[in-house]
Structures are given as structure tokens and as C-alpha cells.
């Protein structure tokens, strides 16, 4: 009987929690999405900063610094060398990662006149298939918006 009461309580609690879950277009539920269409008015070449600050360079540099520091001295001196190697390696690895991967890349600033007359500006990586006067869709919104040609 005690087991039956426990399972009944668990079932009731699960049903209670699932009843509180709201389903909306934002969290994967059914909804509608506006398809924005327009024509390209202007395309200007520009640059956009990449977002490749993953920290992998710092981690690999720190590991290498600890490995090299462990080869120096004995006892407390070795510990100090390992900590100094970790800090120096992390700084060096982070610097190299930013120098190699965090460079601006070519982009397009595209101005689209929507059907209602509103101008929308989107900056995105270069898409050579886009040209002035072309009918396009704008997918997404905010920083994730992209201009794609209508098929």
C-alpha cells in the first residue's frame, strides 16, 4: 500500500508540473512566423568582427606551460615554475588565438526596402548571389537576421 501511495504521489506531481509548462512559438510550440519580403536597395561591402574567442588557445597554452614548468627544479621551486608556466602559457595561447582567428572578415551591409516601404539594414557574411534590385526574404531577426534570395 505504501508503494502505491508513493507512485500515486509521483504521478500527481509529474502531472502538476507538466500542466504548468507553457507552449509558445518561442519554445518550440506551434505558432506563426512572418515572412518578410522586399527588394535590395543597396549593398555596401564592409567588415564584421568574428566571434572566435573560444579560450582553446589559453587552455592549451596553460597545459603546455605546466608541462614545461614541471621540468624545472624540485619541490616548491617546481610548483612555482608550474604556476608561472600555466599563467604565461595561458596569456600566450590567448594572444595567439586572437591574432590568428579573431580577425575581421568581409561582409555585406544590405539595405532592403520592405513591401510596406520600411527600410531594413542587415550586415551578414558575403553572399555573392545577392544583387541590387533582387527580390529577397529576410530570415530571422536581430543579430541573427539574414537576407536570402527568393527562389
Residues 85 and 56 in one domain: yes
Confidence at residue 105, expressed as pLDDT on a 0 to 100 scale: 81
Range of the domain at 96: 51-102
89 with 66: CB under 8 angstroms? yes
Residues 98 and 109 in one domain: no
E-strand ranges in the chain read 36-48, 105-114, 119-125, 135-139, 146-149
What global pTM score does this model have? 0.50
Residue 23 lies in a domain: no
The tally of domains found in the chain comes to: 2
pLDDT tens per residue, range 102-135: 777 889 999 999 988 999 999 988 999 999 999 9
pLDDT of residue 86 exceeding 80, the answer is yes
Residue 119 CA to its chain's centroid (Å): 26
Residues 45 and 55 in one domain: no
Amino acid at each position: 500500500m505504501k508503494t502505491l501511495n508513493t507512485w500515486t504521489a509521483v504521478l500527481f506531481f509529474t502531472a502538476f508540473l507538466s500542466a504548468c509548462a507553457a507552449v509558445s512559438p518561442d519554445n518550440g510550440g506551434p505558432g506563426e512566423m512572418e515572412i518578410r519580403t522586399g527588394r535590395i536597395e543597396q549593398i555596401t561591402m564592409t567588415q564584421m568582427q568574428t566571434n572566435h574567442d573560444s579560450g582553446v588557445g589559453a587552455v592549451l597554452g596553460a597545459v603546455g606551460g605546466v608541462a614545461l614548468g614541471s621540468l624545472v627544479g624540485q619541490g616548491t621551486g617546481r610548483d612555482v615554475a608550474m604556476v608561472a608556466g600555466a599563467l604565461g602559457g595561458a596569456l600566450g595561447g590567448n594572444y595567439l588565438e586572437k591574432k590568428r582567428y579573431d580577425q575581421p572578415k568581409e561582409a555585406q551591409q544590405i539595405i532592403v526596402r520592405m513591401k510596406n516601404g520600411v527600410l531594413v539594414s542587415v550586415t551578414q557574411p558575403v553572399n555573392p548571389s545577392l544583387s541590387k534590385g533582387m527580390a529577397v526574404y529576410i530570415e530571422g531577426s536581430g543579430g541573427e537576421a539574414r537576407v536570402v534570395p527568393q527562389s
